[in-house]
Amino acid sequence: MIFDIKKYSINDGPGIRTTVFFSGCPLSCLWCHNPESISFVPQLLHRQGRCLMCGACVEACPEGAIRLDFNTSNERTAESQNTMVPGAVLTDRQKCTRCQTCIATCYSGARQFSGREVTVQEVMEQVKREIPFYEESDGGVTFSGGEPLIQPGFLSELLVACREQEIHTAVDTSGFSNWNVFEKIRRNVDLFLYDLKLMDNARHKEVTGVPNPVILENLRKLVEYQHKVLVRIPLIPGINDDEENLVESAKFLASLPKLEGVELMGYHDIAQAKYEALSRDYKLAGTKPPTEEAMLRAAEFLKSYNLKIILR
């Protein structure tokens, strides 16, 4: 189950890459920028900004799950204050059976489903088309998500298929997995992009839904097995940018034998529209991205522990 394949990606490892986004994730980070990826089940998105209010989906839905929400005080009522005009399309997600009929009837593209089953061959067909770009740029394929380790059999087959084609592979992971899964895949992975969110276990659980000891332990094991690991820290104001967390993160990372580097990525809130499209609350509404100064300060601090820092 994947929810996207993105070509010409330049932020998910070296060179030009194809990123395959797996569906399903055991974490539920408050700032998740792919909230449609958390569930294994395909997710219905309705983007109100693209909706033409034509009502075609309402008529098409066999479950009667969609309705137009009328609004009398809308600027579209300029001609008459009493004219009822639709203000929004609302979907009763309890009634929705995910039949996808409404997607076919919506010509504006306001309704979409995220998540589909694919075979290894189908993914590889797309991946292989880009081989000239990988060769030109020392790029390759990145498996991301969601959490790719949550589908170990599928991931493992894709990694083997890439190996056969001599395609560089990266796995972007939260690290929250049984070590057996790493054991199954690690020899066919050229680079791990490994998230480090928070050092305090209780706080980690609070904001991601899972504890962190297994994440830290797996990271240490990977490095000790001499795998290439690029650690990625999302810097999120009010969540993990405090001095205590930076100190503990720096101490832990500096204690590891060897890292490719530490990528510091500034939080952004562009995923907020996706939460609206999924009819979910965005818990970090109002949180602003870190300033350039705050990013530089955190980078300088981490550098003081002899860590190689890459700023995003």
CB of 146 to ligand SF4, least distance (A): 21
Residues 6+ apart with CB under 8 A from 135: none
CB of 1 to ligand SF4, least distance (A): 17
- For residues 69 and 75, which CB has a smaller minimum distance to ligand SF4 in the complex? 69
Whose tokens are 């998500």? That residue is: 145
By CB under 6 A, tell whether 185 contacts ligand SF4. no
Query: Which range binds ligand SF4 by CB under 6 A, 20-28, 107-115, 184-192, 261-269?
Result: 107-115
Cα-trace Rg, the chain: 22
- For residues 56 and 299, which CB has a smaller minimum distance to ligand SF4 in the complex? 56
- For residues 28 and 108, which CB has a smaller minimum distance to ligand SF4 in the complex? 108
By CB under 6 A, tell whether 116 contacts ligand SF4. no
CB of 40 to ligand SF4, least distance (A): 17
The Cβ of residue 243 has, within 10 Å, a number of other Cβ atoms equal to: 9
By CB under 6 A, tell whether 56 contacts ligand SF4. yes
> What is the rounded distance in angstroms from the CA atom of residue 130 to the CA atom of residue 157?
19
- Give the one residue of 1, 20, 27, 61 binding ligand SF4; rule: CB under 6 A: 61
- Give the one residue of 32, 89, 161, 250 binding ligand SF4; rule: CB under 6 A: 89
- Give the one residue of 99, 125, 206, 308 binding ligand SF4; rule: CB under 6 A: 99
Q: Where are the strands (E) in the chain, listed by range? A: 2-9, 17-22, 43-46, 66-71, 85-91, 111-114, 140-144, 168-173, 191-195, 229-235, 261-266, 309-311
> What is the rounded distance in angstroms from the CA atom of residue 29 to the CA atom of residue 210?
9
By CB under 6 A, tell whether 90 contacts ligand SF4. no
33 φ, ψ (degrees, to nearest 5): -95, 5
- For residues 98 and 280, which CB has a smaller minimum distance to ligand SF4 in the complex? 98
By CB under 6 A, tell whether 45 contacts ligand SF4. no
By CB under 6 A, tell whether 278 contacts ligand SF4. no
By CB under 6 A, tell whether 53 contacts ligand SF4. yes
Query: Which range binds ligand SF4 by CB under 6 A, 102-110, 147-155, 226-234, 304-312?
Result: 102-110
Structure tokens at 136: 């030109």
Nearest CA to 310 among 245, 237, 242, 235? 235
272 φ, ψ (degrees, to nearest 5): -55, -40
Structure tokens at 51: 């909706």
By CB under 6 A, tell whether 304 contacts ligand SF4. no
- For residues 97 and 119, which CB has a smaller minimum distance to ligand SF4 in the complex? 97
CB of 76 to ligand SF4, least distance (A): 14
By CB under 6 A, tell whether 106 contacts ligand SF4. yes
What's the number of CA atoms in the CB half-sphere (13 Å) around residue 48? 15
Q: How many residues bind ligand SF4 (CB under 6 A)?
A: 27
Contact present, 181 and 147 (Cβ < 8 Å): no
For residues 96-134, b (16+ Cβ closer than 10 Å) or e, as one string? eeeeeebbeebeeebbbebbeeeeeeebbeebeebbebb
- For residues 113 and 305, which CB has a smaller minimum distance to ligand SF4 in the complex? 113
Contact positions vs ligand SF4 (CB under 6 A): 44, 51-57, 60-61, 63, 65-66, 89, 91, 96-102, 105-106, 108, 110-111
